[in-house]
Every structure is written in C-alpha cells, then in structure tokens.
C-alpha cells in the first residue's frame, strides 16, 4: 500500500523545474507570451462550453464531446501554465515534492482522458458519415454519456496507477528536473530506485491509455476516408469531409507532437527540441483547439453571432431607456 505521506518515500523535499531558465534575458517576454496564451485558452474553451450549454442547436453528440474536451483543456492548461508564469515572473523554479506529484497526477489523468475523448469524437464522426441513417439511434443521450464517462474514468485510473507507482520510488538527488513541468521521463532520471518494473508498467499503461485510443481513432478515420472516397460527387465528398476536418486537425496536432516527444530517442541534441514540442501539446494545443472548431465550424460561428447579438440587444435595452428619460426631461 502506498504511503499517504509521499515525502517519507524520498530524501528530497522539493524539485527544481529548470524549464526555460537558460534564457534569463527572455523571462519577462516569455511571461507575457504565456500569459496571453493562458488568457486566450481559458476564454476560448469556456466560451465553447457556455455556447454548447446555452444554444439548443448545439445539443448534439459531437458538441457534447466538444464541451467535454473544452472543459478538460481548461483544467489541463491550469495544471501547467500558472506554475510556469510564477517561475517566469519571480525566478523561483522550485516545486515541492507533493506539488510535483500532484501536478503529474493531473497531467496523466487529463492527457489519458483526452486520448479517449478524441477517440469518442472520431467514432461519432465515423457513425455520422458511414451510418447516416442509423446515426440518431446509435448516438442517443445514454450512449454519449457512457462514452464521455468512460473517457474520464479511464483517465482517472491512468493517473492514479502511474502516480501511486511513482510514490514508491526513492529520490535521493539531484533534484533538478530538466523540463517545465513534472513529466514522467525527466523524473525517472532522478530516482535511485530500480526502475525496471516502472518501465514495464509505463509501457503497459501507454498501450492501454494512449495506443488503444489512438488505434481506435485511426480505425475510425480509415472507415471515414474510405466512405468519403466512395461518394460519387465532388460536392458530396467535400461536405462529408468538412464534418470531420476540424477534429482531424486537432488529432493530428495532438498525436503528432506527442509522438515526437515520447517516441524519438532522448539524445542530448533532441532534448531542447523535445521540450519545445512539449509546449505544443500541453500549451498551444489547448489554445488552438477552440479556434479550429469555431473558425471552421458553421454551427459554432452561428451560435457565437447569436450570443453576440443577444448581448448587444441586452446592453441596448439597458441604455436606451435612460436616453429616453433624458429626452423627456
């Protein structure tokens, strides 16, 4: 059984996240850049959740999954970016042992959940394109709830299992993590325990919680592409592809950058490149996802304009009566 006090497992009480500390002259600039990214990410994803909840026309399976994904992205970004911003602003790059473990848990939990949510969204698009006549019956409210709940539960299990296994390790120094957050691989380089079983466990968890949803996503798109190619008219093919193009871009960005970070050999030359690509899937991907879905999606743009018109009308109704009052006087 894991010790509830993680600090007893290690002689180290805190870690130092090196991050981008080798660029001291750019700390203020990096702070401003990542602050803007954080604000845009939170605003965009929260806006999508609000629109999906408020607009009846968006109460469909794909937007239900999109709202789940946007909710996840707000948590995902908040797990990493606030700590980065503090380190850029104050220069303090230390993080407590418990804080590092907690950050890793939420990262593993949310990353695994995202893999399965993307798989669920690709399955939804596969049914919409390949089985249009049966789509409404197959994607009822209950099945969508089960798919979303299953994604969150699998992510929760992934985070719990991997975090508890890390808590069994002994970290006796050094305490410098060459990354901007508490990722698995950099932390394994600091332990003085035997990590053979950890490597086996990490490989097994990767198969279950990363490779499996990836293969499900690829399989869905194989069916989607084969169905689109069988459509005789060019207009029909374009219309069918447009329904899944946004999701395909998001999937490509997410899995493409993860593949570069975790599949390429961790050589000294690729170390900084790996750190840069980690920024893509942990920081930039949550920011561009709302932009991709809103700018390339007709229903989402219509919902945004409708909400904007309601806000303008509401503000006008508050201002105009006051104008009339002054005119009467």
Q: What is the pLDDT of residue 226?
A: 92
Q: pLDDT-based confidence at 317, cuts 50/70/90? A: low
What is the per-residue pLDDT across 237-246, written as a single tens digit (0 to 9) for each? 888 888 788 8
Q: How confident is the model at residue 324 (pLDDT cuts 50, 70, 90)?
A: very low
3 has a pLDDT exceeding 50: no
Per-chain mean pLDDT for the chain: 84
pLDDT band for position 2 (cuts 50, 70, 90)? very low
Q: What is the pLDDT of residue 329?
A: 40
Which pLDDT tens digit goes with each residue over 76-122? Answer: 999 999 999 998 888 888 999 899 999 999 999 999 999 999 999 99
pLDDT > 70? residue 63 = yes
> Is pLDDT above 60 for 312?
yes
3 state SS for the chain: CCCCCHHHHCCCCEEEECCCCCCHHHHHHHHHHHHHHHHHHHHHHHHHHHHHHHCHHHCCHHHHHHHHHHHHHHHHHHHHHHHHHHHHHHCCCEEEHHHHHHHHHHHHHHHHHHHHHHHHHHHHHHHHHHCCCCHHHHCCHHHHHHHHHHHHHHHHHHHHHHHHHHHCCCECCCCEECCCCCCHHHHHCCECCCCHHHHHHHHHHHHHHHHHHHHHHHHHHHHHHHHHHCCCCHHHHHHHHHCCHHHHHHHHHHHHHHHHHHHCCCCHHHHHHHHHHHHHHHHHHHHHHHHHHHHCCHHHHHHHHHHHHHHHHHHHHHHHHHHHHHHHC
Q: Which fold would CATH assign to domain 6-323? A: Rhopdopsin 7-helix transmembrane proteins (1.20.1070)
Evaluate if residue 325 carries a pLDDT over 60.
Answer: no
Mean pLDDT within 1-13: 52
* Domain ranges for the chain: 6-323
How high is the pLDDT of residue 327? 43
């Amino acid at each position: 059984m894991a010790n509830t006090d993680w600090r007893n497992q290690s002689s180290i009480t805190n870690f130092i996240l090196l991050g981008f500390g080798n660029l001291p002259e750019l700390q203020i600039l990096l702070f401003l850049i990542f602050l803007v990214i954080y604000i845009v990410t939170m605003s965009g994803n929260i806006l999508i959740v609000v629109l999906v909840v408020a607009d009846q026309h968006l109460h469909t399976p794909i937007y239900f999954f999109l709202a789940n994904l946007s909710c996840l992205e707000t948590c995902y970004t908040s797990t990493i970016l606030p700590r980065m911003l503090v380190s850029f602003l104050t220069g303090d790059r230390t993080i407590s042992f418990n804080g590092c473990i907690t950050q890793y848990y939420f990262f593993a939990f949310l990353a695994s959940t995202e893999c399965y949510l993307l798989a669920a969204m690709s399955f939804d698009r596969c049914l919409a394109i390949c089985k249009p006549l049966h789509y409404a019956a197959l994607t009822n409210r209950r099945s969508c709830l089960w798919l979303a709940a299953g994604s969150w539960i699998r992510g929760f299990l992934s985070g719990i299992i991997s975090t508890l296994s890390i808590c069994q390790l002994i970290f006796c120094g050094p305490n410098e993590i060459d990354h901007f957050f508490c990722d698995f691989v950099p932390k394994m380089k600091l332990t003085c325990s035997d990590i053979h079983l950890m490597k086996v466990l990490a490989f097994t968890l990767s198969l279950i919680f990363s490779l499996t949803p990836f293969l499900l996503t690829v399989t869905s798109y194989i069916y989607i592409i084969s169905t689109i190619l069988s459509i005789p008219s060019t207009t029909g093919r374009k219309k069918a592809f447009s329904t899944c193009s946004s999701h395909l871009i998001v999937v490509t960005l997410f899995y493409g950058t993860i593949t570069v970070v975790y599949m390429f050999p961790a050589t000294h030359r690729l170390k900084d490149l790996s750190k840069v690509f980690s920024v893509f899937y942990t920081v930039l991907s949550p920011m561009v996802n709302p932009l991709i879905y809103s700018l390339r999606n007709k229903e989402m743009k219509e919902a945004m304009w409708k909400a904007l018109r309601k806000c303008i009308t509401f503000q006008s109704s508050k201002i105009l009566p006051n104008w009339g009052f002054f005119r009467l006087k």
